Amino acid sequence: MNWEMFLAPYNQAVDELKVKLKGMRAQYEYGSTHSPIEFVTGRVKPIQSILAKARERNIAYPDLEDEIQDIAGLRVVCQFVDDIYTVVGMLRQRKDFDIIEEKDYISKKKESGYRSYHVIIEYPVETIQGEKKLLAEIQIRTLAMNFWATNEHSLNYKYSGQIPIEVKARLKKAAEAAFQLDEEMSKIRNEIQEAQAIFRKKNDNEPTD
Ligand code: 0O2
């Protein structure tokens, strides 16, 4: 198996999608309006993780491309829960990829406490052999959801997926706290955005050397 060749179009897709999603944020900034996107990250799944997922699910090589939807992964992090739905709405309108599935782990969180909105897309990459359509997963979540998921992911890694019960219980409490934080921030969203608009204006008016 030539991994470099297999992963090349996925690397290209992640690079291109990062530019496109960051471009959405930049367009809001030029207009000096609140951006629903706080930041964007992207990664190609490490080979070891692809192999582990394939082993776990009994997936053979030729089916990797169809069965593992997040070999190309993008993450859009937002300030507020409502921003997530604004981003999803914008993704639905785009003409440069097709959405093939949406997984709403916000209205229905996972057993672990995980919350996030996943959009699986079919993205065309131009290669020297012609167009290649591949799957990519865009995870859209708030800063609070991201904080929780990042920490839970580290613990899962540390304990090889077998997090002790007492740590699991704490993670559930933390997930509830993150949910409450999102709720409270949503309630004072207008106040926060007014303050941020004042900062933006002040920075725009300040002379640059
Ligand atoms: P990594 O290391 O982030 O790449 P499905 O077939 O739909 O049941 P699948 O294909 O795993 O399951 O899709 P799902 O559930 O949407 O999860 C895909 C990715 O979402 C995961 O990739 C994680 O990035 C994230 N995710 C899902 N559940 C959890 C969770 O409970 N905790 C955390 N921290 N992240 C989660 P990988 O390959 O698991 O991991």
Could you tell me what percent of the chain has a pLDDT over 90?
A: 84
CB of 149 shorter than 6 A to ligand 1: yes
CB 18 within 8 A of CB 36: no
Q: Which of 151, 149, 126 is closest to 73 using CA atoms?
A: 149
CATH of domain 3-205: 3.30.460.10
The verdict on whether 137 is a catalytic residue reads yes
Q: Whose CA is nearest to atom 8 of ligand 1?
A: 103
DSSP at 45: P
| Rg value, the chain, Cα | 19
Where is average pLDDT lowest: 26-30, 46-50, 80-84, 182-186?
26-30
Mean pLDDT, residues 10-23 taken together:
98
Residue 209 clears pLDDT 70, i.e. is over it: no
ipTM (interface predicted TM): 0.92
The residue extents of the domains of the chain are: 3-205
